[in-house]
Structure 1
Amino acid sequence: MPVIICGPKVAACGLVLSLWGVIMLGLLGIFFSIHSAGLIEDVPLTESDAIPGDPNVAQKIYSLYDKVSYNCFIAAGIYLLVAGFSFCQIRLNKQKEFLVR
């Protein structure tokens, strides 16, 4: 039997916020995967990654971009699960309201 955990307003708020999180993190994941230069400040570079004479500096930086991209996609997936949960809670609250009347 399904259990109502949160009310209709909290569920609606959770749905809106999680859908925004999916959109935002999905876009960030795409931009990190295409190695956007505007996001270089958000890549976790260390001094050992960016040695000036190393010929593989670009490869190291691109691999860091890819790692951040994967993290964004994973977080977007978690937000998608929260959106599904919130949607189920909205449906259960509407069903309860219908049965009470």
Structure 2
Amino acid sequence: MRGLICGPKLAACGMALSLWGVIMLAMLGIFFTTHSAVLIEDVPLTEKDIAEDTNPPQRVYELYNKVGYNCFIASAIYVLFGAFSCCQMKLNKRKAYLVH
């Protein structure tokens, strides 16, 4: 079958992992863009960022937003991976239908 790269079990695993990745990263993106205080340890903040900032929370908020956008980008990549896995599952089902 042309375009078939992985088997049905690997395609199902890829769909499950991509679904979890989309949910988790989308939620993290939301929490980072709303500046959740619990996630401050995951923001790449240095002493220099705080010392040189004339408006102290502004630089921290920009870093929060940057990390949030990165989470949304990673979530979109997981969506593409999930679409690929879905196509692989359909190709596997078609192959099983043609064989039987």
Give, in angstroms, the shift of residue 95 of structure 1: 0.5
Aligned to 2:82: 83
Q: Which residue of 1 aligns with 2:49?
A: 49
Unaligned runs of 5+ in 1: none
| More helix as a share of residues | 2
Relative to the length of structure 2, the TM-score reads 0.95
Q: Give the count of matched residue pairs.
A: 100
CA root-mean-square deviation: 1.4
Deviations 1:53-96 (A, max 9, x none): 95411000000000000000000000000000000000000000
Q: Under a length normalisation based on structure 1, what TM-score does the superposition of the two structures give?
A: 0.94
Hey, what does 1:11 align to over in structure 2? 11
2 CA distance for matches of 1:77 and 1:55?
Answer: 35
Question: Gaps spanning 5+ residues in structure 2: where?
Answer: none
